[in-house]
């Protein structure tokens, strides 16, 4: 088990090195990057918006009763804003995207691998690490912070709706109270840490897809392992990055 | 299509000059020794058919030639250039001189038939869109698929996919054509059509070819010379007639099954 894990990390290291080398040489595949941004970013919008709204609603309902016990109901907008922009928005976005995009990339590249389409690319003198992997990884890195903004917005808006239905409060007042103690760094660092989630999701999913073996069963395994591993590493990275952010942006 | 469009110079080979030279190739996957000292020479304009039982490393041999796999030992020279230790850019310069038809065609399933054939042209030529479209129509016309330009690979039969794969393999006017089981899984009539097509294209384009096949009839039709692999080695090499008249037990067994 330990040997296999070390071997996996070693292979991932080699794979990453090939991607880096492919990334810094021409051509830069701008067209494919835009296509992947649409595939990974735009098409994830409805899902992250819905997830954000659900989290905001639940957070408002749960926090309301908890804060009421301590007579701190007026702190609800601040609790929702801090929870969402610091942790819930980035993590929910990371996990939702790792589910949708991780499975998609793992299955797509896995299918291309077992049907020799990746070999056909190489035989046509096209570097698959550049065309297939780098473009997807970069699209994940760029799309994740943008999707996090959507999750945050939907979460806060849904949180306000849930709150105002229970105890009417204007949107202006909710925002004023919620963002009263929020600085730009409160918002910036957590949002951009999702770029690291994007790197993890893109790299792990492409790696699992490109090493697929064993026909359609192998494609299924790659899709599953892409989701499981990228979700796991997103959670681990979140713990590490939260600590680092607290050190550098106290 | 002018060679200048391809951005490279045509290598001029004299007739009889070895274009592919494989010397003492060894290749193993885990504990399984697939190739155990294979040596083959293919001269310009010649078609070599590589035959053998399943799992004897015939397809691996083609993948070694185009650099998709690396040999554990031995030397592969393509047009006088040793490919071991070549960087990716240099290997790619050689790859554009080779066309590869995969066993299951390996068409890009997210692209249409026309886009599949246009793909190498987009990547390696400076053709305008209209020049590219004309070239794609010409290539698909040469394999009898000009009316299926906008179909997806999943909408056409296995035989048609192989035709498209062949058109794609010929897109960059290769000097060397590598065919992996061009007739496998096809009915006898379609197999015969593919054989005729390959034969015609080989003559039209003066190609040097290596064909991996199980199909003795196909090998007899399209190849000048045959090499029979057994236990990772070349059991016998020669014309169809020479192999058919061999006293070697394995060769006789192989030919008897077909007759």
Residue B32 in any domain: the answer is yes
**pLDDT of B14 strictly over 60:** no
In-domain check, residue B223: yes
Question: What percentage of chain A exceeds 70 in pLDDT?
Answer: 100
Residue A116 with chain B: CB contacts under 8 Å: 102-104, 106
Q: How does pLDDT run across A119-132, given as a tens digit for each residue?
A: 999 999 999 999 99
The domain that contains B56 carries what CATH number? 3.40.50.300
The verdict on a CB contact (< 8 Å) between A119 and B68 is: yes
Q: Where are the alpha helices (DSSP H) in A179-214?
A: 184-192, 194-210
Interface of A with B (CB under 8 A): 111, 115-117, 119-120, 122-127
Q: What angle do CA A151, A156, A159 make, to 5 degrees?
A: 120
B21 in any annotated domain: yes
Among A184-198, B58-72, B194-208, whose mean pLDDT is lowest? B194-208
Answer whether residue A69 shows pLDDT above 90.
no
Distance CA A217, CA B136 (A): 35
> In chain A, which residues have their Cβ closer than 8 Å to the Cβ of B96?
124-125
- Inter-chain CB proximity A119 and B95 less than 8 Å: no
The residue ranges of DSSP E strands in chain B, in sequence order, are: 18-29, 32-43, 47-52, 73-78, 81-82, 98-101, 176-180, 208-212, 225-230, 233-238
pTM of this structure: 0.86
What confidence tier does B15 reach under pLDDT thresholds 50, 70, 90? Answer: low
- Domain range holding B60? 16-95+219-259
The pLDDT of residue A52: 95
Q: How many domains does chain B have?
A: 1
For residue range A89-123, what is the model confidence (pLDDT) as tens digits?
999 999 999 999 999 999 999 999 999 999 999 99
Question: For residues A36 and A223, what is the distance between their CA atoms, to the nearest angstrom?
Answer: 18
From residue A8, alpha-carbon distances to A5, A50, A113, A236, B167 in Å are 5, 35, 18, 17, 39
The model's confidence at residue B257, banded by pLDDT at 50, 70 and 90, is low
ipTM value for the complex? 0.86
> What value does the mean pLDDT take over residues A19-46?
91
Q: Is residue B168 part of a domain?
A: no
Say if residue A246 is exposed, middle or buried (CB neighbours under 10 Å; 0-12, 13-18, 19+): exposed
Would you call A125 and B119 a contact, using CB atoms and an 8 Å cutoff? no
Q: Give yes or no for a contact between A136 and A104, defined as CB atoms under 8 angstroms apart.
A: no
Q: Is the pLDDT of residue A232 over 80?
A: yes
Q: Are A130 and A32 in contact (CB under 8 A)?
A: no
List of chain B residues whose C-beta atoms are within 8 Å of the C-beta of residue A39: none
Residue B56 lies in a domain: yes
B69 assigned to some structural domain:
yes
Give the distance from residue B19's alpha carbon to the nearest chain A alpha carbon, in angstroms: 18
Per residue in B228-242, pLDDT (tens digit) is 998 888 988 998 888
Q: Which residues of A touch B168 (CB under 8 A)?
A: 124
The answer to whether position B165 is within a domain reads no
- Predicted local distance difference test score (pLDDT) of residue B71: 93
Is the CB of B104 less than 8 angstroms away from the CB of A120? no
Other beta carbons within 10 angstroms of residue B89's beta carbon come to: 10
In a domain, B90, yes or no: yes
Interface with chain B: mutation pick from A26, A30, A120, highest number of B CBs within 10 Å: A120
Residue B116 and residue B241: Cα distance in Å, rounded? 39
């Amino acid at each position: 088990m330990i040997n296999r894990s070390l071997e996996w990390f070693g292979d991932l290291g080699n794979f990453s090195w090939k991607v880096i080398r492919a990334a810094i040489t021409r051509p830069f595949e701008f067209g494919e990057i835009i296509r992947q941004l649409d595939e990974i970013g735009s098409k994830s919008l409805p899902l992250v918006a819905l997830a954000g709204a659900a989290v905001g609603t639940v957070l408002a309902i749960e926090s309301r009763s908890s804060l009421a016990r301590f007579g701190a109901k007026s702190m609800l907008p601040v609790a929702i804003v801090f929870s969402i922009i610091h942790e819930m928005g980035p993590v929910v976005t990371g996990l939702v995207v790792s589910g949708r995009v991780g499975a998609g990339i793992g299955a797509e590249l896995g299918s291309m691998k077992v049907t020799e389409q990746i070999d056909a690319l190489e035989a046509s003198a096209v570097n698959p690490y550049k065309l297939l992997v780098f473009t997807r990884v970069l699209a994940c890195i760029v799309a994740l912070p943008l999707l996090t903004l959507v999750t945050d917005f939907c979460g806060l808006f849904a949180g306000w709706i849930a709150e105002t239905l229970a105890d009417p409060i204007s949107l202006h007042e909710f925002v004023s109270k919620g963002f009263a103690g929020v600085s730009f760094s409160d918002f910036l660092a957590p949002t951009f840490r999702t770029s690291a989630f994007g790197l993890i999701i893109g790299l792990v999913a492409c790696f699992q897809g490109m090493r697929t073996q064993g026909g359609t069963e192998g494609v299924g395994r790659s899709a599953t392992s892409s989701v499981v591993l990228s979700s796991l590493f997103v959670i681990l990275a979140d713990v590490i990055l939260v600590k680092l952010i607290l050190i550098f942006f106290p | 299509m002018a060679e200048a469009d391809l951005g490279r110079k045509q290598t001029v080979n004299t007739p009889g000059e070895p274009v592919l030279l494989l010397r003492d190739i060894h290749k193993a996957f885990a504990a399984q020794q697939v190739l155990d000292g294979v040596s083959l020479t293919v001269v310009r304009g010649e078609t070599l058919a590589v035959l053998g039982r399943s799992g004897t490393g015939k397809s691996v041999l083609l993948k070694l030639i185009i650099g998709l796999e690396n040999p554990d030992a031995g030397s592969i020279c393509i047009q006088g250039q040793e490919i071991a230790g070549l960087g990716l850019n240099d290997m790619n310069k050689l790859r554009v001189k080779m066309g590869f038809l995969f066993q299951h065609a390996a068409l890009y399933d997210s692209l249409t038939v026309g886009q599949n054939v246009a793909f190498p042209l987009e990547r390696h030529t400076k053709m305008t869109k209209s020049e590219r479209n004309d070239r794609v129509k010409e290539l698909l016309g040469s394999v009898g698929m000009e009316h299926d330009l906008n179909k997806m690979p999943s909408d056409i039969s296995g035989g048609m996919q192989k035709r498209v794969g062949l058109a794609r393999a010929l897109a960059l006017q290769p000097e060397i054509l590598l065919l992996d089981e061009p007739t496998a899984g096809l009915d006898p009539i379609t197999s015969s059509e593919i054989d005729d097509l390959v034969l015609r294209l080989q003559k039209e384009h003066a190609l040097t070819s290596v064909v991996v096949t199980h199909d003795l009839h196909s090998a007899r039709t399209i190849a000048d010379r045959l090499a029979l692999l057994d236990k990772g080695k070349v059991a016998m090499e020669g014309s169809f007639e020479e192999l058919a008249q061999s006293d070697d037990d394995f060769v006789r067994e192989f030919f008897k099954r077909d007759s």
